[in-house]
Structure 1
Amino acid sequence: MGIYVKKAVWLLICKIKGIIYIPIDIVRFLYGLIRLGSKKDKLFPIVGIIPIIGNNRMEAGNIDRHYYLQDIYMAQKVMKNQPSVHYDIGSRVDGFISHLLCNRVPVTMIDIRPLPISIDGLSFIEGDATDLSQFEDSSIESLSTLHAVEHFGLSRYGDKADAFASYKAMKAVQRVIKRGGFLYFSVPISYRNGIIYNSHRVFKPTYILDQFSEMKLISFAYIHDYKVNEFLGDQAVEVIKQNHFNEYDCGMFVFEKK
């Protein structure tokens, strides 16, 4: 529980700091408004006001230490294998999926939530990834699910509470990938399995290997402190078996169906 207590305390401190800065931010906002208004620029007059405060204390760019690095790393893995079409379950459209589309990789995305827009090169299937019943056995050559399976069955995204949802999804994914096909899979990893309700699960990497017993591990990598640590083949398996992991990191697995 240590890392989650620290995160809760950190969020509380951030909220308190934000409240403390509100009077300063309001003064700063009003000063800027008065200064601009006094110039009476005819080409760009003030036609509306939307108060946005606090951005002056933000860093240059908002980079999520897991998703940003994960999406680049896994997109490079997919593009290296050059699939004729790639299927994805629940990964980020504005990250991983967009990387593939920029490199002209056609993508079919599967999600329990609707996608209300149309994007060139992207097909969409609204469905339940815990069974993938619309797909035949051994029918897909390239499939990914990044930072998604850990949320299944926790009622977070409109799905029903199901303690076995992540297990079902992994078995369904393994079923639909054809022999010689590739799976690109990521979840939060830890030295133990567990549920942090209703946010996510964490998985022991050995558990992931056990669920994909019909597949060969090509590579394993994990993200810690904005660094990708990659291991290949037998070395990857050995690192996973040692189980020297932190309480929460991002684990990335590339499998090939035997």
Structure 2
Amino acid sequence: MALLTPVPLLGLVGLPRYLANWRRLKEKAPNDLRLADSYPCLSDWVQSTPFDPHYFYQAGWLARRLRASGVSAHTDVGSDVRMIGVLSAFIDVTFIDYRPLSATLAGLRCEAGNLTGLGLPDASLPSLSCLHVVEHVGLGRYGDPLDIAGSERALAELQRVLAPGGRLYLSVPVGRERICYNAHRVFSPRSIVDALSGLALREFSLVDDDGRFIENADPTAAAALDYGCGLFVFERRVPHAAPLPLDSEFSAQ
């Protein structure tokens, strides 16, 4: 079904309109339009601006939390590069990706790295994000080595490098657990919390199957979704600190 993308089909529906508009403009400016210069955009005539709810909401979600956190530097592993470029306008960002980003921008440092082995010291990063990335690890989609336990290793590595008192901002597809080879995995929120047992869940938000953003959602409700987006804020507890309220509530369920 992934091969039967609806975009080309929508384009065919728009072809008569495209040809009719071409004729109208050609009549008004016969010397300005050349067929060789045409660039058909056949699927953009819609009633509202289309967007990917997962990527749109997770970018706004992270930006607001980083701004409120007051940190001056942040590290991200593999998230959407358009978001990273914007974040670097107000916070110094180190961006690590398996396929390193070749870009130069003030406030942005780009490095190559593997999420299952970042090569960073233990407990070294006070502010860390990884949005819509962990689900891909080990499935070979981006040329990375095949590893059926790739996501578990990636989560363990994120946990390892997070500093005491530091925050990990994480997003993954949530709902019915499965592997959609070779695109991604889908997790239950419970599985993510269990994999990061050394961290405390501070906050959970959600984009549901209808593309609605639900801030401070109930993590247990996400398990009934098909392909939602879970937005987690984890924190490494300072030794002897009391559990955070949401972490205690979720652990008891």
- TM-score bin, normalised by smaller chain: 0.7 to 0.9
- The match for 1:213 is 197
> How much does 1:129 deviate?
1.0
TM-aligned CA distance change 1:154 to 1:18, over 3 Å? same
Using the alignment, how far apart are the partners of 1:223 and 1:18 within structure 2?
Answer: 28
Stretch of structure 1 that moved more, 28-37 or 194-203? 28-37
- The match for 2:215 is 230
Using the alignment, how far apart are the partners of 2:161 and 2:114 within structure 1?
Answer: 14
TM-aligned CA distance change 1:28 to 1:230, over 3 Å? same
Unmatched runs of 5 consecutive residues or more in structure 2: 238-253
> How much does 1:180 deviate?
0.3
Deviation by residue 1:190-235 (Cα, 9 ceiling, x = unmatched): 0x3211111111001000000111111110011123422222xxxx
> How much does 1:74 deviate?
1.5
Deviation by residue 1:161-209 (Cα, 9 ceiling, x = unmatched): 111111111000100011100000000000x321111111100100000
Deviation by residue 1:88-131 (Cα, 9 ceiling, x = unmatched): 01111212x234223x2000001001212211100011111111
TM-aligned CA distance change 1:110 to 1:206, over 3 Å? same
Whether 1:164 aligns to 2:167 is no
- The match for 1:246 is 225
Tell me which of 30, 48, 63 is aligned to 1:75: 63
Is residue 154–residue 161 contact of structure 1 (8 Å, CA) maintained in 2? yes
Unmatched runs of 5 consecutive residues or more in structure 1: 39-44
- The match for 1:26 is 19
- The match for 1:139 is 124
Whether 1:151 aligns to 2:136 is yes
Using the alignment, how far apart are the partners of 2:74 and 2:108 within structure 1?
Answer: 10
3-state SS, counterpart of residue 30 of structure 2: helix
For normalisation by structure 1, the TM-score amounts to 0.82
> How much does 1:248 deviate?
0.9
Using the alignment, how far apart are the partners of 1:243 and 1:64 within structure 2?
Answer: 19
Is residue 14–residue 43 contact of structure 2 (8 Å, CA) maintained in 1? no
Whether 1:113 aligns to 2:99 is yes
Using the alignment, how far apart are the partners of 1:92 and 1:120 within structure 2?
Answer: 18
- The match for 2:185 is 201
TM-aligned CA distance change 1:220 to 1:117, over 3 Å? same
> How much does 1:17 deviate?
4.1
Letter in 1 for 2:236: K
Using the alignment, how far apart are the partners of 2:93 and 2:11 within structure 1?
Answer: 41
Letter in 2 for 1:65: P
Whether 1:16 aligns to 2:9 is yes
Letter in 2 for 1:171: A
Is residue 219–residue 253 contact of structure 1 (8 Å, CA) maintained in 2? yes
> How much does 1:241 deviate?
4.1
Letter in 2 for 1:49: D
Using the alignment, how far apart are the partners of 2:107 and 2:178 within structure 1?
Answer: 37
Deviation by residue 1:57-98 (Cα, 9 ceiling, x = unmatched): 235533211110111012111221122210001111212x23
Is residue 219–residue 230 contact of structure 1 (8 Å, CA) maintained in 2? no
For normalisation by structure 2, the TM-score amounts to 0.84
Is residue 189–residue 223 contact of structure 2 (8 Å, CA) maintained in 1? no
Is residue 167–residue 236 contact of structure 2 (8 Å, CA) maintained in 1? yes
- The match for 2:241 is none
TM-aligned CA distance change 1:101 to 1:198, over 3 Å? same
Using the alignment, how far apart are the partners of 2:85 and 2:122 within structure 1?
Answer: 28
Using the alignment, how far apart are the partners of 1:242 and 1:30 within structure 2?
Answer: 53
> How much does 1:26 deviate?
2.6
Q: CA RMSD in A?
A: 2.3
Is residue 112–residue 128 contact of structure 1 (8 Å, CA) maintained in 2? yes
